[in-house]
Structures are given as C-alpha cells and as structure tokens.
Amino acid sequence: MAEFTMELNDEQKEVRDWLHGFAADVIRPAAAEWDEREETPWPVIQEAAKVGIYSLDFYAQQYFDATGLGIPMAMEELFWGDAGIALSIVGTGLAAVGVLANGTEEQIGTWIPQMYGDPSDVKVAAFCSSEPDAGSDVASMRTRAVYDEAKEEWVINGTKTWATNGGIANVHVVVASVDPELDSKGHASFIVPPGTPGLTQGQKFKKHGIRASHTAEVVLDGVRLPGSCLLGGKEKLDERLARAREKARKGGERVKNAAMATFEASRPAVGAMAVGTARAAYEVALDYARTREQFGRPIIDNQGVAFQLADMRTRIDAARLLVWRASWMAVNGRPFEAAEGSMSKLFASETAKKVTAQAIQILGGNGYTREYPVERMHRDAAIYTIFEGTSEIQRLVISRTISGMPIR
C-alpha cells in the first residue's frame, strides 16, 4: 500500500508538465471557438491521440498509479485548459471503464480499440445510464433488456439522456434493467456495436456550459444484440442476480450500500475536474488584479479584492487535498467510512462555482464578457454540482453515512 503524500514524484511531475503544456498550447487556444460552435472538437481530439493522451494506455497508466494521484492530476490539468474540450477528450473513458470493469477479456480486446480508433481516424464512445425519469434515482430506470432464448439475443427498449457522445459514438455502452424487482442490482451493461439497427440519436442538448462536449438523448427501439454483447456474459449475470435475490431476502440494505461504494470511488475524478476549472479562473483573476489599476494602484492592493483571492486560493487547495485523499483511499482499498468520495466531489464542485463567480466579480464588467475566459469558466463550473450526483445527493450520502442510516 502506498503511503499518502502531498508530493508528486519525478515521474508524476513529468506527466503533469506534459499535460499542462498540451492544455496551454492546444486546448486553450481552441476553447472559445468550440464553445461558440457547440460542436465536438475533432481536431483537438486527434491532436490528443497523436501525442498519446487520447488513448486507453494513458488512462490505464494513471488509473493504476499506486499513489492514486495519477487520475486527479491528469483531470485537473486537462480541465484547467478547458472543461468542454477536456470532457470531449476524457468522455470515452467512461465507456471504456465500464467495459474494463465488467467485460470479459475477449470483450475488452474487441471493443475498447474500436472506442478510440487511431490518430488518423479517431472514434469516441458513449456511456448511457441516465434517463429522463432516472437521474439521481437510478432504481427508477425504465430501459429494459429482455432475453430472447429462441434467438439467443437481447432486446433493448428505452431512452437514455445526458449521454456524453450519445448518438455520435462508434460504440455505445448501455445500462438496462433485466430484473426490475432488484432495483439497481438488477441492472446489466450491454455493448451496442456501430450501425446497430434501432439505436438513434434523440435530442442534442444546447447547454449552458461545457458546450464543446456533445450531449444528447439515445433512443433504443427494439435493439437486438447477440448474447456476446452482454458485458461479462449471461452465466455471470445469472449468478449475480441469484446472489442479489438471496441478499435482498436476507437484508436488502447491504446490497444497496455495496453498490453505493462503487459510485463513491468514481466521484473524486469529477472533483479533480472542478479543481482544474477553479484554478484556471483563480489564475486569470490573480493576474488581472495585479495588472489592473484603479485610483492609481493595482486593484489587488485593495483589501476587498485581496481577501477574495486569499479565500479562492484556500478553497482550491482544500478541495485538491480532499480529492487526493479520496483518490488515494480508493486505489488502496481504504473504506469510505465518512463518504470521503462524496465529500471531495461536493466541496470541489461547490468551490468551482464560487471561485469562478468571484473571478467574474474581480474582473468587473470585463469578466461578464466573452472577451475574457472567466465567463465561460463560470458557465462550465455549473455542471460539477449536477452530474455524477448533485450536491444535494452528495450531502444525502454523507449525512446518511456519518449517521449510520441506510443509503437508498
């Protein structure tokens, strides 16, 4: 087990500086254009693929970093560049992780390469879980997968929403209910190959922020998939469902709490994204306050401005430490006895909203215009308190965990 540390080693610093350079030289110059266009920044993704950032190998290396700091470090630097473009670069990773976590070796080897493509022909993938009536309440999922034994095929019907890369992806990973009575434990994940009949893109959302990231509904109307597209295979699914039914009879809350632990482990990565956006806005505000003069002196000489910057920096550093602690705990198998994963995501996401708003205030009228990036950063920051569990859900998880109450 790696000891928790606040110091990056030499290899981690080298990766951090490499990512920072890419964010500064490639992502930032393109940020305003793709935010205005509200389109997937394919040229930037291609550049990321050429240098090795847009690849499974890169994220696997960071994920298996024994210190737990590889992923949060990478997320912070990329999202420091721009949240919308960064999400377009890392969005495929959500689907890839779903396959890695649940798929067979054959499924991993077959589908993950098709998610990324290659530097000359990049592809993206989509992870489809949320639904119009099942966001925070995952147990209300209505998308159904029914097994057709005669044809040894799964038939899926339903509508997914808020899917990053939904409809434009080469490969979709779709979560569906195979046993509604088991709530979230009755869910299974399926690969939907490119060109599968019945899968179409629904509404593409015109968003407040992260506009360079494609977000859309995915409609599944009689989608038929061979048994090989069920992640993990049917035998494994049947065994898992049987165990879940037995546990549900003996004590259902233990089943649900075990599932919650999986979500806890993924939330620090979102916290790291928020830290990156907050840090970017803080740096713009700090530079502006040093150079902008009013009444014959830089505005940072005014206590009202200086104290805001002090609070901004303090919150950012505190958020990063919570994210790093939770990331280290997750990688090293430490139990989240106080919902530390949710803590990190809650504090970091709220910090991003607050810091970006303060940055606009420090820049005054300039901050409210699109001539300066803090306006975009403030719009982007709003998503962190919503996706991967709203701030209200994080508080619910934390409060129930520390009180010993069941998490439903």
Q: Which residues are catalytically annotated?
A: 388
What own/partner pairs with CB < 8 Å and gap ≥ 24 does 58-66 have? 59/90, 59/93, 59/96, 62/15, 65/12, 65/331, 66/2, 66/331, 66/332
- Closest by alpha carbon to 129, among 163, 158, 96, 157? 163
Residue located via tokens 């970017």: 280
Residues constituting the chain: 408
- Would you say 351 and 319 are in contact if contact means Cβ atoms under 8 Å apart? yes
Quick one: CA dihedral 222, 228, 166, 351, positive or negative?
positive
d(Cα 399, Cα 84) in Å, to the nearest integer? 32
Based on its alpha-carbon atoms, the radius of gyration of the chain, rounded to whole angstroms, reads: 22
- Would you say 387 and 162 are in contact if contact means Cβ atoms under 8 Å apart? yes
The pairing of strands 199-204 and 153-164 is: unpaired
Q: Which residues of 267-299 are buried (b: 16+ CB within 10 A; e: fewer)?
A: bbbbbbbbbbbbbbbbebbbebbeeeeeeeeeb
d(Cα 319, Cα 125) in Å, to the nearest integer? 30
